[in-house]
Amino acid sequence: MRPSGPVALALLALLCVPASAIRVERLPLPALAKVRGVVPAAPAFEAVAAEEAIVWFDASVSTAQRTALIAGIGGRIIQEQPAYGWVHVGLAAGSSVSDGLTALRSAPGVLRAEPNRVYAAVRAPNDPFFASQYHFNKIDAPAAWEFEVGTSCLTTIAIIDTGIEGTHPDLQAKLASLAHQECVTPGCAPDAPVAACEHGTAVAGLAAAATDNGSQVAGLSWGSQLLSMRVFDTADCNSDCGDKAGQSCATSDARIVDALAFLGNLQNTAAYGRIVANMSLGCLPGFGCAACSVPLQTVIDAALAKGIVIVAAAGNDGPGDDTMNVPASCPGVIPIGATDINDAVASFSSRGSDLANNGLSAPGDGLTSTSLGGTTKGGLRGTSFASPLVSAAAALVLSAKPTATVNGSTNEVKNILRGTADNVGGGANACGAGRLNAFRALRYTVKGTLAGFDGEAKPIAFPNPFRVSQAGLVSFAVPPSLQGSGVKIKIYALDGQLVREITGLIWDGKNIDGGLVASGTYVFQVSSSGGRGRGRLAVIR
């Protein structure tokens, strides 16, 4: 059942003033806070929203008393969250967050006061364009699709990010009934199909772009719906997610909490099914990264209790004893690191014990996905783009097994993803449990065991059909049973004529004479010391 306006607004008890663009203030980090694995030469700072705080009052303090107390220090109530027991407070104009917190913490009836911490879309500089979506072969996606493409049971991947371009031809048909929500003003409300910048659109495409439709790129979960939860203000960001003049392209605890709380109302409903929340967000560059805030952890715990899977990018702060970002390091969240085309840990990928104990990695260097203006973009780098691959894999698991648990030590979804990951080296602090293997994850979900999984999958070509005008190369995925020395692939026409023989796993669509093959169906045979296997491939010119 589709939630009505009052259901969504039930999370909001009081809205006194409109929210404005986030202004960032530097607040000294507590002495014991994590500072991205680095001992700073000068005091470290975290990024917080200027003139804002989050406050918990004793239950005996009435709304009128709260309002009067906050007004007494020159502040005002921005929003109340009675479900979680906290109040989003605007401090006196011109006052520092540090002074405001001191005043609030000493006020009668106040149990706790925290800053409203600020986050950014986790970005890294682009490499040159990569035309091939190599990550599908790395994570054995074609073999996974033999088990599940996400259509068995309804799932929704909520992208808590900069917004999804709703008119994109590879995304428009994938959007759920409440396709766009903005959580910039207090609470979440229906939004236009706009994006504050390109980041969220790229993340969405990797997770669940329309697939097998002859257009642009493919997503990992073919059947999942997408839900855009925009937590960035369109007035703050340039198209590349850089700061607009005088603004900060950033979001905050309060906005993320609103988004997760809103999803709690949709979880396991007929219109949305099981929900996976993806957060490719992290601490602002140049600032320290404190531990998970109380309001954020509270709503994460509530979402997990309702059965929502939460996946987050580990961060792009590279090597160090503990360079993990928030929200990835929050308990209950599945943190995701990044690997490259060679299955090495990406140089920029954050490390830490949270990744070792709770997370895994996925390809996140040199990816291709959807972009603004209905286009595609290559060379995407960052744990931001590894995270949606794991979110999509989680959605496939839930589609195959909608009763899978997500909370506590019996978190089946996390345990399946981690337990079936490939060990690609690099160490647990850098790579988590290993690199995602979607085939093994789905094989285990469907069969309940990995015993005898070798040889069950056939060799697969991707993309299939191969549209020469849209994709420059065909990649072949070889199942474990055929992996060995001396790999050769022979491509035949249906009349048995040999068209091409290759010794790698990439075909450019050309015949022995160097010309492009004609449209039609072709048979390919993979042989190695491990055995032989066959498949079919359609070519469209």
Query: What CATH number is associated with residue 125?
Result: 3.40.50.200
- The CA angle 33-37-38, to the nearest 5 degrees, is 95
The closest alpha carbon to 81, from 97, 63, 107, belongs to 63
- Same-domain status, 216 and 157: yes
Please report which confidence band the pLDDT of residue 420 belongs to, taking 50, 70 and 90 as the band edges.
Answer: very high
423 and 470 Cβ atoms separated by less than 8 Å: no
Beta-carbon contacts of 491 under 8 Å, excluding residues fewer than 6 positions away, are 498, 499, 500, 501, 502, 507, 522, 523, 524, 537
Query: How many alpha carbons fall within 13 Å on the CB side of residue 506?
Result: 8
Of the residues 88, 168, 180, 199, only one is catalytic, namely 199
- Rounded distance between C-alpha atoms, residue 538 and residue 466, angstroms: 6
CATH code of 10's domain: 3.30.70.80
Range name among 224-228, 318-322, 408-412, 506-510 with the lowest pLDDT average: 408-412
User: Does residue 196 belong to any structural domain of this protein?
Assistant: yes
> pLDDT at residue 538 above 90?
no
- Same-domain status, 419 and 468: no
- Same-domain status, 323 and 368: yes
> pLDDT at residue 533 above 70?
yes
Please report which confidence band the pLDDT of residue 459 belongs to, taking 50, 70 and 90 as the band edges.
Answer: confident
- Same-domain status, 162 and 225: yes
Residue 470 has what pLDDT? 67
> pLDDT at residue 381 above 90?
yes
227 and 176 Cβ atoms separated by less than 8 Å: yes
> pLDDT at residue 18 above 90?
no
Q: Which one-letter DSSP state was computed for residue 510?
A: B
Which of 96, 117, 138 corresponds to the end of one domain?
Answer: 117
Residue 19 has what pLDDT? 44
Residue 214 has what pLDDT? 58
Residue 30 has what pLDDT? 66
Q: Three-state SS for 295? A: helix
520-528 and 531-540: which strand pairing? antiparallel
- Same-domain status, 471 and 386: no
- At 26-61, the pLDDT tens digits run 888 765 455 444 444 444 788 899 999 999 999 899
Q: Which one-letter DSSP state was computed for residue 59?
A: T
Residue 161 appears among annotated catalytic residues: yes
Of the residues 88, 132, 135, 161, only one is catalytic, namely 161
Instruction: Name the domain count of the chain.
Output: 3
The mean pLDDT of 143-152, rounded to a whole number, is 80
- Rounded distance between C-alpha atoms, residue 475 and residue 525, angstroms: 14
Please report which confidence band the pLDDT of residue 452 belongs to, taking 50, 70 and 90 as the band edges.
Answer: low
Of the residues 384, 387, 391, 475, only one is catalytic, namely 384
- Same-domain status, 390 and 477: no
- The CA angle 131-206-503, to the nearest 5 degrees, is 40
199 and 281 Cβ atoms separated by less than 8 Å: no
Range name among 115-119, 173-177, 326-330, 477-481 with the lowest pLDDT average: 477-481
- Rounded distance between C-alpha atoms, residue 491 and residue 501, angstroms: 6
CATH code of 464's domain: 2.60.40.1930
Beta-carbon contacts of 178 under 8 Å, excluding residues fewer than 6 positions away, are 2, 3, 190, 227, 266, 271
The closest alpha carbon to 150, from 274, 312, 333, 277, belongs to 274
> pLDDT at residue 6 above 60?
no
> pLDDT at residue 5 above 50?
no
- Rounded distance between C-alpha atoms, residue 29 and residue 429, angstroms: 24
**Which amino acid is residue 247, in one-letter code?**
Q
Q: Which residue has the tokens 């490390």?
A: 351
Helices (H), 196-248: 199-208
Please report which confidence band the pLDDT of residue 17 belongs to, taking 50, 70 and 90 as the band edges.
Answer: very low
Reading across the β-sheet that carries 274-279, which strands appear in turn?
189-190, 175-182, 225-230, 155-161, 274-279, 309-313, 334-339, 360-363
- Same-domain status, 80 and 128: no
Beta-carbon contacts of 40 under 8 Å, excluding residues fewer than 6 positions away, are 288
Residue that wins the pLDDT comparison between 214 and 520: 520
> pLDDT at residue 474 above 90?
no
The mean pLDDT of 307-314, rounded to a whole number, is 98
> pLDDT at residue 522 above 50?
yes
User: Does residue 455 belong to any structural domain of this protein?
Assistant: no
> pLDDT at residue 127 above 50?
no
Would you give the end-to-end CA distance of the chain in angstroms?
A: 44
197 and 241 Cβ atoms separated by less than 8 Å: yes
- Same-domain status, 211 and 300: yes
Which of 447, 469, 494 corresponds to the end of one domain?
Answer: 447
- Same-domain status, 92 and 211: no
- At 79, list the tokens: 């929003």
> Between the ranges 247-251, 415-419, 506-510, 519-523, where is the mean pLDDT highest?
415-419
The mean pLDDT of 246-256, rounded to a whole number, is 91
Residue 46 has what pLDDT? 87
Boundaries of domain holding 473? 460-540
- Same-domain status, 97 and 129: no
Tell me the pTM.
0.77
Averaged pLDDT of the chain: 85
Q: Three-state SS for 137? A: helix
Which of 117, 143, 163 corresponds to the end of one domain?
Answer: 117
- Same-domain status, 146 and 103: no
- The CA angle 349-292-312, to the nearest 5 degrees, is 40
520-528 and 488-493: which strand pairing? antiparallel
**Which amino acid is residue 336, in one-letter code?**
I
310 and 279 Cβ atoms separated by less than 8 Å: yes
- At 132-142, the pLDDT tens digits run 577 887 888 87
Residue that wins the pLDDT comparison between 118 and 279: 279
133 and 392 Cβ atoms separated by less than 8 Å: no
Residue 58 appears among annotated catalytic residues: no
248 and 24 Cβ atoms separated by less than 8 Å: yes
- At 24-35, the pLDDT tens digits run 888 887 654 554
> pLDDT at residue 399 above 60?
yes
- Same-domain status, 434 and 503: no
The closest alpha carbon to 395, from 272, 521, 244, 529, belongs to 272
175 and 167 Cβ atoms separated by less than 8 Å: no
Residue 504 has what pLDDT? 83
User: Does residue 45 belong to any structural domain of this protein?
Assistant: yes
